[in-house]
Amino acid sequence: MNHREVKISGFGGQGIVFVGYLVGKAAAIYDHRYATMVQSYGPEARGGACSAQVIIADAPIHYPYVAEPELLIAMSQEAYTKFVRELKPGGILLVDEDLVTTDSLRDDIQVYRVPATKIAEGLGHRIVANVVMLGFLSAVAQIVSAEAVKEALASSLPAGSSELNQKAFEAGYEWGRRRNDEC
């Protein structure tokens, strides 16, 4: 049975929960699998700790909380510091290289440093760094199909922001695809 656990983390205002929602929606609706998502917020509206936990499986999920993520996205230093110890041996760590310094990394995980914020700023809006990271995840991790994520993204955005978010996804996906080609 295929059972995948993902933790997406950062700070409030980065769209962390939205990325978790998109991953779960892509898996459940467009890849026809089972998915759960649990979210956690700090007490602040913006700037506080924030995370989303997503489980994707081929069979019903009986416990919705991530016990040992095999994939961790850290888009803030606080998130990295707090959650990196939970990452499963052999897991994948994605960090926004402009916001997270990785110190004393474990040698049993695969690390990708993604310039998500820089890529988003190049598109004109820092706010889509989360979608850049989602595109990268789709290229390197095979948690859900890229086609399913694109469908989930298109069906979850208001008309005025769809084009920018699709560009952000494609930019992150292309960055990830190039990283895979280098390996």
Burial pattern 154-175, b for ≥16 Cβ within 10 A else e, equals eeebeeeeeebbbbbbbbbbeb
CA distance linking residue 151 with residue 141, whole number of Å: 18
Model's pTM, two decimal places? 0.92
**Enclosing H/E stretch for 34:** strand 34-41
Q: In total, how many domains does the chain have?
A: 1
The sign of the torsion formed by the CA atoms of 48, 53, 54, 60 equals negative
φ, ψ for residue 164, nearest 5 deg: -60, -45
Per-residue pLDDT tens, the chain, 183 aa: give them. 599 999 999 998 899 999 999 999 999 999 999 999 999 876 655 667 799 999 999 999 999 999 999 999 999 999 999 999 999 999 999 999 999 999 778 889 999 999 999 999 999 999 999 999 999 999 999 899 999 999 999 999 988 888 999 999 999 999 999 987 776
Phi-psi region of 114 (alpha: psi -120 to 50; beta: other; left: phi over 0): beta
- Which range marks the domain in which residue 49 is found? 3-182
Phi-psi region of 126 (alpha: psi -120 to 50; beta: other; left: phi over 0): alpha
CA distance linking residue 163 with residue 168, whole number of Å: 9
34, burial (CB in 10 Å: exposed 0-12, middle 13-18, buried 19+): middle
* CATH number of the domain within which 138 lies: 3.40.920.10
